[in-house]
Structure 1
Amino acid sequence: MSRLPSRERLAADRGQPEVEIRRSAKRRKTISARWEGDMVVLLAPAGMTTSVARDYLRRLLPKLLAERSARREDPRRTDAYLEERAAHVARSYLDDRVKPVSIGWVTNQNTRWGSTTPATGKVRISHHLWSAPEYVVDYVIHHELCHLVEASHNARFRKLEALFPHAGQAKAFLEGMVFERNRLEDTNADPA
């Protein structure tokens, strides 16, 4: 059996973005796709054939295109919006003590509202918050910015987090979102 290339470019169909398949031995089962500039990158297991990758791409591409279109229509769905909100939050509640190296929306966080890598200064915010009220997005940003000062959820972190005036309301809103998501999953679950 011949070895598949770790990277493979697919010829773009008319009106479609260029696609690159990136295969990795570290991936066993999961397949995902993301935008890198104007190109779609399909992340796949090392042994996945091009024809199987194309089948996955046929299912994933419409979703990626729809998300990109929605981002262009709604300025809140841009990373620039998050950068603006992060600057406002840092200035208003953290005395400009922190500034993330980067902050952006991600579509691969389904169980967290946000995440921070303190060592690199990168902040990621879940796309599930696209339609949330601004004070909720600001709260999640504030929480993640606090991690740039204090990595753990200790007393120092809780003191910083308490500087956000609408934390209780934002947490209640997020709990409601989790409740609704769980309710919908239970409703859509197949009976055993």
Structure 2
Amino acid sequence: MSSREKILTAIRANKPGQRELPEVNIPVSYEGLVEKFTQIATAIGAQVFAVDRITDIKAKLAEIFSPSKRWVSSMVEFGDVAETSIAEVDPHTLEDVELSIIEAVLGVAENGASWIPEQNLPQRIVPFICQHLAIIVPANKIVPTLHQAYEITAGSEYGYGAFIAGPSKTADIEQSLVLGAHGPRSLTIFILS
């Protein structure tokens, strides 16, 4: 028997038995979820705007970002300002995307994260390769904690999804924070009522 097999046999022999997951009871408040989500998302570097209509989002995006650059979206409502049929394109052709507009299924108040399943992503690479990311979060789909988010997403069928919170960032040993280090340089969140 090889050393590798000896090690694997020892591990299998000492494997602990299955245990039930613990019951987690965290006190949860459903009050002020939009305000809490906004506060946390802003604290981690996102811009957050409360809006009533898609037209409000388009107007604000045109103020912030250059409409002459490449915008993409998974939402057909943005077909007049962004490319919406990129699901079948070669992902390598997306290297010049200035702005990606995607819709979240839910938001998490405790950490400012937005859940984006693959159905809302025309290409998996889009929210990570674009220069700027805009996420639309329905106000009535903001939950207090990740526990509630996982309860909602647990029964869903998806092969891929991501919780996205804030623009990408990194800090070196000297505690110098850099936004947009390895992904979008900015995150703009629209809370759609």
TM category, shorter: under 0.3
User: Which of the two has greater helix per residue?
Assistant: 1
Q: TM-score by structure 1 length?
A: 0.22
Q: TM-score by structure 2 length?
A: 0.22
User: Which of the two has greater strand per residue?
Assistant: 2
Structure showing greater relative contact order (alpha-carbon pairs closer than 8 Å, 6 or more residues apart): 2
